[in-house]
Amino acid sequence: MKITYIVPGTGGQFYCENCNRDVALIDALRKLGHNVALVPMYLPVKIGNTEIESDAPIFYGAVNIYLEQTVPIFRHFPGWFSQLLDSPSLLKWASNMSGTTRARRLGEMTLSMLRGEEGNQFKELDRLITWLSRKDYLGDVEFIEEYDPYR
């Protein structure tokens, strides 16, 4: 069985330390013989100074979703531009920004993401669904579309 475990990345900044639990659970499931894919969201998954290797690209990159929420034109930029915003160096820089986890500032973005296709981050949802539906990811299930993370 293929298990997809979506982990909110920290970029090395700990707030709740749930990533320690998530990585330990993924490791334990793999040791039991399960095929577990670690799928990071927002930022890379890091524990201390160690970046945890992922089985997927980062989805809902922190810089992308912030700009898509606050600057409407970014919702319509081409995929190659979004790919630049998801670069590891830019995400590392973003993870060091103070105050990025204040709920007051994230409420509207959270509601927008919960709106799915109707939200401001619709491109990121489409990208995640496309990646999850890849034939090589799912095994024997057949899909027509080829994977393009920034289509």
By residue count, the chain amounts to 151
Per-residue pLDDT of 29-54, as tens digits, reads 889 988 888 888 888 887 766 777 78
SS3 labels along the chain: CEEEEEEECCCCCCCCCHHHHHHHHHHHHHHCCCEEEEEEECCCCEECCEECCCCCCCECCHHHHHHHHHCHHHHHCCHHHHHHHCCHHHHHHHHCCCCCCCHHHHHHHHHHHHCHHHCCCHHHHHHHHHHHCCHHHHCCCCCCCCCCCCC
| 68 backbone dihedrals φ, ψ, rounded to 5° | -65, -30
In a 13 Å sphere around the CA of 130, the CA atoms on its Cβ side amount to: 15
- At 143 the pLDDT is 40
pLDDT of 22 reads: 86
For the CA atoms of 96, 100, 102, 103, what is the dihedral angle to 10 degrees?
-140
Q: What is the pTM of this model?
A: 0.76
Question: Do the beta carbons of residue 112 and residue 106 sit within 8 Å?
Answer: no
Phi, psi of 125 (to 5 degrees): -60, -45
List, for the chain, all residue ranges whose pLDDT scores fall below the cut of 50.
140-145, 147
pLDDT at 56: 85
